[in-house]
Amino acid sequence: EPEVTQTPSHQVTQMGQEVILRCVPISNHLYFYWYRQILGQKVEFLVSFYNNEISEKSEIFDDQFSVERPDGSNFTLKIRSTKLEDSAMYFCASSRGEADTQYFGPGTRLTVL
Amino acid sequence: AQSVTQPDIHITVSEGASLELRCNYSYGATPYLFWYVQSPGQGLQLLLKYFSGDTLVQGIKGFEAEFKRSQSSFNLRKPSVHWSDAAEYFCAVGAAITGGGNKLTFGTGTQLKVEL
């Protein structure tokens, strides 16, 4: 069964450094998402991406964040200058159709020191 | 804006007992509703979903949920819990995005403990 994959599983970085979190969505999916979950809190929507552009972003997704689909298979989330409060589990998700089920990857745990 | 409330933070049940996890949502239109399960260190796995039609939906692992519009609820049930069901359960509501896609809003989750 196809699945969403994410790398790395755990990333440790220093405050102010740039990080890139990588995701490979399911191959025939058209809609791509990033969510995050701060330890002990709920899963929060960050951004959705469709047709090579952002379709919606949350207020969390400020100028420090960007997303890209550099080729036909990868979907990346970049944080330009990490802050302590960016420490969280980041989940990538994809869906085939607009209202279809979103399939989630296993997550990348980001720790900012 | 949509929201989801899961009033029970922790629930403990005995193996073999029945289970009901509560979920209430707020959304202006007909909602898309989901239950996901998260085991420690794992991602989110879809248990079941409601888009339209029959208000009682069946999911994986013997779970079911009933959509009740009048109560704005989508409670998850299982007639007999297994020890492997111990996990965190998230209810979510989906809202269409103008530019394409569907934004999920999650509840705070219910941590299920199963006593042997």
Asked if the Cβ–Cβ distance from B32 to A99 is below 8 Å, we say yes
The DSSP bridge pattern shows strands A65-68 and A53-57 to be: unpaired
Give Cα A93 distance to the centre of its chain. 8
Task: Calculate how close chain B gets to A93, using CA atoms only, in Å.
Answer: 10
Q: Using an 8 Å CB-CB cutoff, list chain A residues near B108.
A: 41-42
Residue B96 pLDDT: 83
Decide the pairing of beta strands B110-115 and B10-14: parallel
Of B101, B105, B106, the CB nearest to A56: B101
Sign of CA dihedral A16, A19, B95, A55: positive
pLDDT in tens, B25-43: 998 777 899 999 998 877 8
Q: Which residue of A has its CA nearest to B49?
A: A101
Q: Which residues of chain A carry a pLDDT beneath 50? A: none
> Comparing C-alpha atoms, which of B23, B97, B15 is closest to residue B57?
B23
- Where helices occur in chain A by DSSP H, the ranges are none
**Cβ-Cβ contacts under 8 Å, A59 against chain B:** none
pLDDT at B81: 97
Which regions in chain B score pLDDT beneath 50?
none
Nearest-CA residue of chain B relative to A10?
A: B41
**Confidence (pLDDT) at A105:** 94
Give B46's contacts in chain A (Cβ within 8 Å): 101-103
Which H/E stretch holds residue A91?
Answer: strand A88-95
B43–chain A Cβ distance below 8 A for any pair: yes
